[in-house]
Amino acid sequence: MRVVVTGAAGFIGSRFTEMLLDEAGRLGYDDVVLLDALTYSGRRENLEGALADPRARFVHGSILDAATVDAALAGAHAVVHLAAESHVDRSIAGARPFYETNVVGTHQLLESARRAGVERFVHVSTDEVYGSIETGAWREDHLLEPTSPYSSSKAGSDLAALAYHRTFDLPVMVTRCSNNYGPRQFPEKVIPLFVTNLLEGRTVPLYGDGHNVRDWLHVDDHCRGLLAVLERGRPGEVYNIGGGTELSNLDLTRRILALMGADESSIEPVADRLGHDRRYCVDWSKIRDELGYAPRVAFDAGLAATVAWYRKNAGWWRPLKATA
């Protein structure tokens, strides 16, 4: 059976691909198509290990291109859709690519999947579609209240995916994850940005008062959740995937500083981001109860391992920072 992974050369996509190949025999996938446009954050080198597997093959192309998507999905049993523009700051600076890729590109995939008769379609989204929550945690049926161009484009793609299930009976499942971290994350995101800045002897830019709160999810745990949804998720359903570690940005920064042997003199307060949501938190009891998901990576251990990876792999991230 064929499974198509979009955005496969990115941070989450490349790790998901590795874990999928580990499980491919059990799941029955002998043809793993890795589709990526190789924009700034998609790196072919992220797939070096995966492409050594004879079951995997790479397709360089955009999800906006109908011919490319139709060819990749022809005969496919499943799609795991990770391709997205995902950095909030970039969406504030220029929103159009976010709506093109996240909404129009997702529509192209849905149309191609419908024509191809795909039997499983996992649409990967974000907790940011819910907006900010003062207390408690979002359930999957919470009203969508996105506040940035990025999150609104993802909300639009979520609604399109669920509409294709309702109208065309396309077997779509939507996942919404909390903040990911781990090796190979592009160094514009907060953890790799702060770690690599400190490795370069620079300060770390902390937005506002530092008390915005996020739930942190190791990329391996996220990918385990995606595999569970791919295998056993119910079409038409939404599954939150959380990490179970809530931290303010200031608390996170202090943990990074401690691991790097730095102190708070390395913090550079900067003006807060436009429309910065105060707190995100998802209720992930549904995926736990239905599919047996639970995060396995303790945050402090995962953060230490992530810091160690960036220490050892300057050759991977330095060129990216130079051109970002």
**Annotated catalytic residue 181:** no
Paired sense of beta strands 76-81 and 238-241, if any? unpaired
Q: Which of 29, 85, 99, 127 is catalytic?
A: 127
Distance CA 165, CA 236 (A): 6
Distance CA 28, CA 112 (A): 22
**Annotated catalytic residue 85:** no
**Annotated catalytic residue 127:** yes
Taking the alpha carbons of 43, 44, 49, 54 in that order, is the dihedral positive or negative?
Answer: positive
Six token digits for residue 284:
């992930």
Q: Which of 36, 85, 99, 128 is catalytic?
A: 128
Q: Which of 130, 150, 280, 310 is catalytic?
A: 150
Which are the catalytic amino acids?
127-128, 150
